[in-house]
Structures are given as structure tokens and as C-alpha cells.
Structure 1
Amino acid sequence: MCNDYRLEVDIASIMEDFDDLEIKIDLPEGTPNVAAREDIKITDTAPIVRSGGRGGELVNRRWSWPGPGGKPVYNFRAEGREFGSNRCLILADGFYEFTKPEDPKQKRQDKWLFTMAGHRWFCIAGIWRESPQGEAFTMLTLEPGKDVAPYHSRQVAVLPRDRWAAWLDPQVPAQEVLGILPKGSLEVTRVYPPFPAQAALL
């Protein structure tokens, strides 16, 4: 499951892209102060666009809420659910998955970065709710597409740009919005351990 993602694109560029798509984004709490971050981890605060107003509302919220046993709910299975309220778009320019190391002497897992082909950034479908720590969000997951299947048995629900507005509209059925991306939609790069050419530059 995805427990680490990235957002290094500035908010101004993100707002311009929403404008180009004619998606109205309000700033009920002012423009979020968001620094470029290579790793956004569970319980961190990060920007989301939640459904509301005439389109969406850009706010900073905590990633994950505590589940019944106290463990953080940072991923949420999407199959068979409608999500008729509290939808959100999670802003990202990459997400990470981890696999067992190829080298048995290596203690850390191999780390892989997934980005969206042809786009500087993208949105992951999510939901938000009230929690003891305030409003918090979680990422929806699906069966993996062909790009992710070699690395993990589940995949976060990455949305093509033409589905962002529909996800913000709770009247649109979830099954019409969520789906597996075609092969080649996501590009993967190994982050750790670096390839020999990368290691030589470090």
C-alpha cells in the first residue's frame, strides 16, 4: 500500500492547470503554504482539493485518521463503495512503492517512484472525514494496473485529468470515475538503491 508520496510542483502552477480545465477552486483558508516535498508520509499535512462550492476547495489536511484499533487509515479500498460525500483530490507528482531488495545483503527495501507520463503532476482519488485530530484524508486503492502490478498487489486510484471534475461531484457514481489506467500511463524509476551510473554521481 502507498505510504509515501511526493509533491514538488508549486501551488501556483497547480492552480493554473485547474483554471485551464475550467475547474473552479476556492481558497477558504487562504493559499496553503506548501513547500516542495520529496516525501510526504503518513500523518503529515498536505494539500487536497475537497468537494465543495462550485468545484473544489484547496486546503491543507492530515494524511490518515486513526482506525478502530488505533492504526492510521491511510489507504481505503474503493471496490463496492459509492463515496456519495466527502470526496477529495490528493495533489501529487509521484508516489512510491517498496519491494524486497534484490541484494540479500541490502537492509533497506528497494524504493520505486511512479509518475504520470506526459504530466508534471496528477491527482489521486481520496476521501476525507472528521477525526480526533481534525479533518483528515485517505487515498483510495484499486486492483493494480499493469504498470504497478509487478511491484504491488494494490494501487492508489490515480485519476486522468478529464475525471477530476467528476470526482469532485458526488452526484457522479464512483464506478464511472474510478478505474485502472492503461499500460504506459505511469512511468517508474528506481530511487533506491541507485543504479551504478547514479551511484557514481553521489
Structure 2
Amino acid sequence: MCGRYFLNLDENIEEIKKILDEISQKYEGSPLLQKMKSGEIFPTEFAASIVSKDFQREAEILRWGLPLQNKKEVIINARAETILEKPLFSSIISNRCLIPAQGFFEWKKDGSKKQKFFIKPKDCNVFYMAGLYKRIELEGGILVDGFVILTTEPAEEIKHIHNRMPVILKKEHEDLWLFENGSTKALKSLFSVLLKPWEGEIEAVEVKNN
């Protein structure tokens, strides 16, 4: 599971600045720009994302979570192993996105206690998680695009913390996830390569006052 992640839009990192600049220009004067979250990002908040438009990367503001029928609860994650089998996700399989992050949070259970950890690939300032998105209707009839983050088995170093982790894409796999099309069989084969536990080193730091 991935229940919170971190992206500081004020960070002086070229990749983040480029995303923010593009979004700021596109959404100038829009209330969505004011709602876009920086820092620790929670479900139902609006966040910077990357989608495919005419086979080009385009920065967008998406809302984290797909509402259930009562519109109060949301689905925030999708198991990578079953996205082609579950109707909710298979119906939007062409709506793939990249979710930029600098780390994600997970909680290790120890009896009645929970310890919060900040987790990220080692020596990596910014990475992209695999996501799916669809047009959703909020209360008041407002239409926005909502996203879910794909999860997979945990990397070896963090198995003691949690039994799932977000799918972190390798650099060479980011555009394949965004742009590749094909039959269900072809996509299943592709996803088996892309949507795997992170194979590099991972840092997990305990967070105080969680």
C-alpha cells in the first residue's frame, strides 16, 4: 500500500522546477493551481502528475483517489498484478500516468504501535511511480481527473516494514509505461517487465513524531 508520499515543489531540482513551471503556465488563474499540494501528500489532495498527450509528456494536476459509489471513500492504490483483470482498472488501462515523488511513507506495525518510515531509492532525488487515472465527478458536479498509484511486492530491504510498495519505474521504463499500446496479451507481457519491486538499493528512515 502507499497511503502518503512526498514531493516538495519548492525544491531547487531542475526536474521539479520544469514540472511546476509547465503546470503554473497551464493553470494560471485556475483554482486548481492553489489546491495543488506540496510536501506530504494525502489521499483526495491534488498533486502534480505526468500524462501522455499526443505521445508527449504533459504535466497535469490530478486528484489522488477514485471515489466509490458513495463518493466519500476512495480507492488510492491498484495492485499491479491484477490491473488487467479488474474492470475498474482494465477500462482505463490506456490512461496511464507518472506520479513524481521524492519518497513515500509506510508504517511498521509493532503490536498496538505504528512506526512511520520515509522510504526512497538510494541516491535518487526524484522518481516516478506508476499510476492510472480517469475522469471523476466530485460533489457539486465538479469534473476532475483522479488517479491511483500501482503497488507491487516490497523490495527486500523493506519487507520488514510492509508487504506492499508503490511501483517505482526505472528511467528507461517511464516512457514505455506512458506511451506503449497493444493487445491485452502484449500489455500483460510488458507490464510483467515494468511493474516489479524496485531492484536497486532503498533507504528507509524512521520518522519521529508520526
Fold shared, TM-score > 0.5 on shorter chain: yes
TM-score normalised by length of structure 1: 0.77
Q: Quote how far apart the aligned CAs of 1:170 are.
A: 3.3
Instruction: Check whether the contact 2:96–2:131 (CA below 8 A) recurs between aligned residues.
Output: yes
Give 5+ residue unaligned stretches, structure 2: 85-89, 139-143, 182-186
Matches within 5 A, 1:15-34: 29-30=26-27
Q: Between Structure 1 and Structure 2, which shows a larger proportion of helix residues?
A: 2
Q: Give deviations 1:31-79, integer Å, cap 9, x for gaps.
A: 8676641x10010100000122232210111100212454211011111
2:74 to 72, 75, 92: 72
Give 5+ residue unaligned stretches, structure 1: 19-25, 195-202
Q: Quote how far apart the aligned CAs of 1:90 are.
A: 0.3
Counterpart check, 1:159 vs 2:176: no
Matches within 5 A, 1:34-113: 36-37=38-39, 39-68=40-69, 70=71, 71-82=73-84, 84-101=93-110, 109-113=114-118
Instruction: Check whether the contact 1:49–1:89 (CA below 8 A) recurs between aligned residues.
Output: yes
Letter in 2 for 1:162: E
Letter in 2 for 1:50: V
Root mean square deviation of aligned Cα: 2.9
Instruction: Check whether the contact 2:9–2:16 (CA below 8 A) recurs between aligned residues.
Output: no
| Count of aligned pairs | 182
Matches within 5 A, 1:139-154: 139-154=149-164
Structure 1 range deviating more: 89-98 or 8-17: 8-17
Q: How much identity, in percent, do the aligned residues show?
A: 25
Q: Give deviations 1:119-172, integer Å, cap 9, x for gaps.
A: 101000000001113211110011222122111111110111111111111326
Tell me the equivalent position of 1:182. 199
Q: Quote how far apart the aligned CAs of 1:175 are.
A: 2.3
